[in-house]
């Protein structure tokens, strides 16, 4: 179902029909009264040294997708494969193996680092847990990684609060890289940073990818950032991917009406290209009551009767892109 855009060795990571549903419980007996379908059947591949951008508005399930892949929330359904081999149960040794191959960088560099640990201990912990390198070599591995992500090795005894936001994000990236993972989930890694620092981190991620061949699932609400860093882009709306294609195709020629809406809502950096704002007031429906049929139909200018009845499948167009729309 997913076009193979990776190299001949096949994708390093394949995700098939991933679902994460959360029960809504109410009352004294915590009876389940509903379900939030946060992620509802998401499939994609990531090739080696490839960055896949996952974009969408708040509540679309992009972060939950990342957390499920990182093993931090339990997937309700779905398959995850590394190099075509299915990952078994995410427990015990399987989980340890999994975490060696898949790491995560969080949005908030302030709350995702233990404030009572020194940087060298934060970075060493993964090596100790997974038994990587001889214990005597580990301090040097930590210092090497600090240098690689642009931190001064002489700061290795410092605590997180002694660093700026950008430097803390470098620590988070270094921690994710310690195990030499195949894939790193980057969940809004630059959203909390100032523009000038954001650029430093984006450039760093690009350099690291070129050096180490690591792949990224890059989750962001910022289309400018996603366009800058991604090779392939998946657009999510209410738990589903509605369009997926190479970066160029998405940005030069958006096909799904939601992709169009996102792009036309993004301000350009050119004061001569001001948009005619549409002062509509459509809100994203709640994930607890996703509209039947196509979830986007309540905001869609192209919606017709079939959109109410049937959810459009994600289908291949022009051999290059996947789009879930009846009318495109």
Partner 1 sequence: MNQTVSGTKTDTAPEQPPALEVRDLRIRIDAEAGSFTVVDDMSLSVRPGETLCIVGESGCGKSMTALSLLRLLPDGAHVERGSIRVGETDLLALSERRAEDIRGDRIAMIFQEPLTALNPVMTVGAQIAEAVCRHRGLSLRAGWAAAVQALRGVQMPDAEQRAHQYPHELSGGMRQRAMIALALCCDPAVIVADEPTTALDVTVQAQILGLMANLQREHGTAVVLITHDLAVVAEIADRVIVMYAGRRVEEAAITDLFDAPLHPYTRGLMGAIPHVGGVGRLTDIPGTVPPLWNLPEGCAFAPRCPLATAQCTAETPPLRAHRPGHMAACWNVTHDA
Binding site for partner 1 (CB under 8 A): 57-58, 164-167, 194-200, 202-203, 206, 221-225, 227-229, 251, 261-272, 274-281, 283-284
SS3 288: coil
Nearest to partner 1 of 76, 206 (CB atom): 206
- Whole-angstrom distance, CA of residue 174 vs CA of residue 180: 10
Q: Which is nearer to partner 1, 11 or 166 (by Cβ)?
A: 166
Nearer to partner 1, 145 or 229 (CB): 229
Q: Measured from the CB atom, is 69 or 261 closer to partner 1?
A: 261
Q: How far is the CB of 51 from partner 1 (least distance, A)?
A: 13
Closest contact distance (angstroms) between CB of 300 and partner 1 is: 12
- The closest of 85, 112, 229 to 174, measured between CA atoms, is 112
**Considering Cα of 302, then 304, then 307, then 310, what sign does the dihedral take?**
negative
CB of 93 to partner 1, least distance (A): 40
Residues 115 and 161: beta-carbon distance below 8 Å: yes
The separation between CA 164 and the C-alpha centre of its own chain, rounded to angstroms, equals 24
Q: Which is nearer to partner 1, 91 or 111 (by Cβ)?
A: 111
Q: How far is the CB of 16 from partner 1 (least distance, A)?
A: 28
* Cα angle, residue 169 at apex, residues 68 and 207 outer, rounded to 5°: 90
User: Least CB distance from residue 233 to partner 1, whole Å?
Assistant: 11
Per-position b or e across 315-328, b if 16+ CB within 10 A of its CB: eeeeeebbbbbbee
């Amino acid at each position: 179902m997913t076009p193979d855009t990776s190299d001949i060795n096949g994708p390093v990571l394949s995700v098939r029909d991933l679902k994460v549903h959360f029960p809504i419980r109410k009352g004294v007996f915590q009876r389940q009264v509903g379900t939030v379908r946060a992620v509802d059947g998401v499939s994609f591949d990531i090739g080696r040294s490839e960055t896949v951008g996952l974009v969408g508005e708040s509540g679309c399930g992009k972060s939950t997708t990342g957390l499920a892949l990182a093993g931090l929330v339990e997937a309700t359904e779905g398959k995850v494969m590394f190099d075509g081999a299915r990952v078994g149960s995410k427990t015990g040794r399987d989980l340890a193996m999994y975490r060696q191959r898949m790491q995560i960088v969080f949005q908030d560099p302030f709350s995702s680092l233990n404030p009572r640990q020194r940087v060298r201990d934060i970075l060493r912990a993964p090596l100790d847990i997974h038994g990587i390198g001889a214990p005597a070599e580990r301090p040097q591995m930590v210092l090497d990684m600090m240098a690689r992500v642009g931190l001064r090795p002489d700061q290795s005894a410092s605590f997180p609060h002694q660093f700026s936001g950008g430097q803390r994000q470098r620590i988070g990236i270094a921690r994710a890289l310690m195990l030499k993972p195949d894939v790193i989930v980057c969940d809004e890694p630059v959203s909390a940073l100032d523009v000038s620092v954001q650029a430093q981190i984006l450039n760093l991620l690009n350099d690291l990818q070129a050096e180490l061949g690591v792949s990224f699932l890059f989750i962001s609400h910022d289309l400018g950032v996603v366009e800058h860093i991604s090779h392939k882009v998946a657009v999510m709306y209410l738990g589903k991917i509605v369009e997926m294609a190479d970066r160029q195709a998405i940005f030069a020629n958006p096909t799904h009406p939601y992709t169009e809406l996102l792009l036309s809502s993004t301000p350009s950096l050119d004061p001569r290209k001001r948009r005619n704002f549409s002062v509509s007031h459509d809100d994203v429906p709640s994930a607890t009551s996703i509209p039947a049929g196509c979830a986007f139909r309540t905001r869609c200018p192209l919606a017709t009767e079939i959109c109410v009845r049937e959810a459009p499948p994600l289908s291949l167009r022009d051999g290059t892109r996947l789009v879930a729309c009846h009318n495109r």
